[in-house]
Amino acid sequence: MCDHFSAREALLLLTPEQMGRADRAAMEAGISGSLLMENAGTAVAMRAQEICPHGGHVLVLAGPGNNGGDGLVAARLLAERGYRVRLALLGSREKLSGDAAIAASRWQGGLEKLSAGIDLSADLIVDALFGAGLGRPIEGEVAALVEAVNACQRPVLAVDLPSGIDGRTGCVRGAAFKAAKTVTFFREKPGHILLPGRLHCGEIHVADIGIPDAVLPDLSLKLWRNHPGLWHDVLPVPDVEGHKYARGHTVVVSGPAHATGAARLAARAALRAGAGLVSMAAEEDAIPALAAHLTAVMIKKVDGAQGLAGLLSDARLNAVVIGPGAGVGQATCERVAACLQSEAAVVLDADAVTSFKDQPARLFDAIEARSAPVFMTPHEGEFSRLFPDLAEHADKVEKTRKAAERAGAVVLLKGADTVVAAPDGRAAISARDAPWLATAGTGDVLAGMIAGLAAQRMPAFDAACAAVWMHADAARRFGPGLISEDLPEMLPAVWSQLAAERCAD
């Protein structure tokens, strides 16, 4: 998907079940299933022609359902256009039904029986075995074929989803093709973006097969690909006449003297994210270390949780980060409670999450009692401490949503496919590869960025999504060799590009 802004609606993700409802709604609106399949197969053939030289040898692997039907249409069109097409079918032609049977009746070529030992010598292999209808793990002969195809080094074009990838969760069920390209229809599915599914799809193309956008409202969709199109219209833009106080004041709660670095990373990130002022709340013993390093960030001396509560009673301090370097234990719980008593937006990161391992209800009750937003930024380990019953859930979107609803907070379940979920069920999945982020301290930077955006009064869900995207964009701009300190320094370039695209939009 390209990086320019696209409409919010274009970023919606449909589960296979929702896609089935969209198909049915389109058919009720008078668009026949056969036409949808013809359009799907046409889109597949077009992509095949991009990969395979004219007249080349294409092997189509067709399954017993409509995914196979799409493959049959593509096979026919490619043969008509001069390609040498072989078609291998799983199951018998007689068992095909509905639109797939119609597609088979139009196929004039031969049919091979699909088996693990089939001849794979082709310029392109089209995977039309299973798509939305994958109902169980791929096993036996078919699994052996998938492994053989993956080992044979020929390009694979997947129809809708690489067979074996669960369209809802992105999980591999048994075995899954590794595709060079995937053509999907109408909208992307979560399984294209969540890991490991994303790694099996290759380049993703979304084809318009004639399903009208008018079917979308009835589906009550609340899941998007995380992309600027989702939040660019609520990104904070400094006023020509504005002053620093109008851009909000972020407070970062420092760890003790030996652990101040994480909070400094968050503070620097909050400044670069655009907060007008950033202060570090620190106990006396941490101040020398902080003072030796901080310039634009102010230091406010606080004494324990009570001192922190006193500082935060000033309503101008409207966003606070606690957790980076905080230490796990009761003292952190007390300080978190002080933060939650304030009217500021609160970002709970790292130790602030882990400290409530044995008393999550205490945390959730304190969140329920306030109206300002709360963000939680756990990685999988921290998530499992606070939400042990959800940790093993195979569906990353669903488990993040459940956690957000339970906690009453915007939850960011971090990783290479970070999911952001709001208590009202909205969720977004990050799809930007940024492997350089896997280095110490990048999470602290993210927490600071969220607080910097929240201080500027960006709506909570949008602020979290924007921070995740900008964080990955910063990492991609820097590339190899990135350390967490580099991330805030890349943010001016990220902002400039966002501003330029906003003008061009």
Ligand X SMILES: Nc1ncnc2c1ncn2[C@@H]1O[C@H](COP(=O)(O)OP(=O)(O)O)[C@@H](O)[C@H]1O
Starting at the earlier edge strand, list the strands of the sheet with 249-253. Answer: 223-226, 427-430, 419-421, 410-413, 374-376, 345-348, 317-322, 249-253, 277-282, 298-301
Would the annotation count 442 as a binding residue?
A: no
Pairing of the two strands 427-430 and 419-421: antiparallel
| 438 contact partners, CB below 8 Å, separation of at least 6 | none
The Cα 409–Cα 371 span in angstroms is 11
Between residues 44 and 410, which has the closer beta carbon with respect to ligand NAX? 44
Are the beta carbons of 438 and 417 closer than 8 angstroms?
A: no
Q: List strand residue ranges (DSSP E) for 105-201, in order.
A: 112-113, 124-128, 156-159, 181-185
Cα 374 to Cα 47, 284, 407, distances in angstroms: 45, 27, 9
The Cα 101–Cα 267 span in angstroms is 62
| 183 contact partners, CB below 8 Å, separation of at least 6 | 40, 43, 44, 47, 157, 158, 159, 160, 205, 207
Q: Is 149 in the site for K ion (CB under 5 A)?
A: no
Which of the choices K ion, ligand NAX, ligand X, none does residue 127 contact, using the CB cut-off of 5 to 8 A by kind?
A: K ion
Would the annotation count 174 as a binding residue?
A: no
Closest distance of CB 437 from ligand X, Å: 4
Would the annotation count 140 as a binding residue?
A: no
**Burial call 143-159: b when 16+ CB within 10 Å, e when fewer:** bebbeebbeeebbbbbb
Q: Mark residues 324-353: x for contact with ligand X by CB under 6 A, - for none.
A: --------------------------x---
The Cα 166–Cα 107 span in angstroms is 29
Closest distance of CB 63 from ligand NAX, Å: 5
Between residues 142 and 216, which has the closer beta carbon with respect to ligand NAX? 142
Would the annotation count 262 as a binding residue?
A: yes
* Residue 31: alpha-carbon gap to chain centroid: 32
The Cα 123–Cα 117 span in angstroms is 18
CB under 6 A: which stretch of 40-48, 102-110, 328-336, 439-447 binds ligand X?
439-447
| Number of C-beta neighbours around residue 482 at 10 A | 21
Closest distance of CB 180 from ligand NAX, Å: 18
Which of the choices ligand X, K ion, ligand NAX, none does residue 36 contact, using the CB cut-off of 5 to 8 A by kind?
A: ligand NAX
Q: Is 159 in the site for K ion (CB under 5 A)?
A: yes
Would the annotation count 417 as a binding residue?
A: yes
Residues 174-213 that bind ligand X (CB under 6 A): none
Closest distance of CB 201 from ligand NAX, Å: 13
Cβ-closest position to ligand X? 443
Q: Is 127 in the site for K ion (CB under 5 A)?
A: yes
In what helix (H) or strand (E) does residue 299 lie, and over which residues does it extend? strand 298-301
Out of 441, 448, 452, 488, name the contact with ligand X by CB under 6 A.
441
Would the annotation count 98 as a binding residue?
A: no
Which of the choices K ion, ligand NAX, ligand X, none does residue 66 contact, using the CB cut-off of 5 to 8 A by kind?
A: ligand NAX
Query: Tokens 């492994």 identify what position?
Result: 147
Out of 444, 462, 473, 486, name the contact with ligand X by CB under 6 A.
444
CB under 6 A: which stretch of 192-200, 231-239, 358-366, 430-438 binds ligand X?
430-438
Would the annotation count 163 as a binding residue?
A: yes
Q: Is 163 in the site for K ion (CB under 5 A)?
A: yes
Between residues 248 and 443, which has the closer beta carbon with respect to ligand X? 443
Closest distance of CB 137 from ligand NAX, Å: 6
Residue 172 pairs with which residues in a beta bridge? 165
| 140 contact partners, CB below 8 Å, separation of at least 6 | none
Q: Is 26 in the site for ligand X (CB under 6 A)?
A: no
The Cα 291–Cα 298 span in angstroms is 9
Q: Mark residues 460-479: x for contact with ligand X by CB under 6 A, - for none.
A: -----------x--------
Would the annotation count 452 as a binding residue?
A: no
| Number of C-beta neighbours around residue 402 at 10 A | 18
Would the annotation count 293 as a binding residue?
A: no
Closest distance of CB 457 from ligand X, Å: 23
The annotation places the binding site at 66-70, 127, 131-137, 160, 163, 262, 325, 379, 414-418, 443-444
Point out which residues bind K ion (CB under 5 A). Answer: 127, 131, 158-159, 163
The annotation places the binding site for K(+) at 67, 127, 163
The annotation places the binding site for AMP at 414-418, 443
